[in-house]
Amino acid sequence: IGPKVALGMLSVHSVHQLAAAIATGDRQTLCRAPGVGKKTAERIILELQDKIDKDVFQLPDARAGISNRWTNEHVEALEALQTLGYSAIEAERALTGLKEKDSSSLIRVALKNLSNHKK
């Protein structure tokens, strides 16, 4: 999926709701987002289901320094980007230096940054 669909999904669901829907294979929940139909939802589940586990939102000890440097919103945005399939390094680079105050704004700007880097 691209950044537009990802933003649409985040506008309808929280990060935790998305992770739960993907982990449980709940296609109907994913289909509520604009631009996500049955096939797209199945593809998202197929590609991400094995990457999500119950500890997906806990930061490993090695990442404790980030939680000291960043706000809770930054950490939440980092987790959301990782849930969407970006590596921790990609997500960190996209979020570094952003000054937005809420996690949804951070995610939007980071997704734009990530999509610009792929061009």
Question: For residue 42, which amino acid is it?
Answer: E
Q: Look at the block and give the residue holding tokens 């980007």.
A: 81
* pLDDT tens for each residue of 35-46: 899 999 999 999
Q: pTM for this structure?
A: 0.46
Give residue 14's Cα distance to chain centre: 10
- Can you tell me the mean pLDDT for 21-37? 87
Whether the predicted pLDDT of 58 surpasses 60: no
Q: Taking a C-beta distance cutoff of 8 angstroms, is the pair 77, 103 a contact? A: yes
Whether the predicted pLDDT of 119 surpasses 60: no
Q: Domain coordinates of the chain in residue numbers?
A: 3-118
Whether the predicted pLDDT of 32 surpasses 90: no
Structure tokens at 81: 């980007």
pLDDT of residue 39: 94
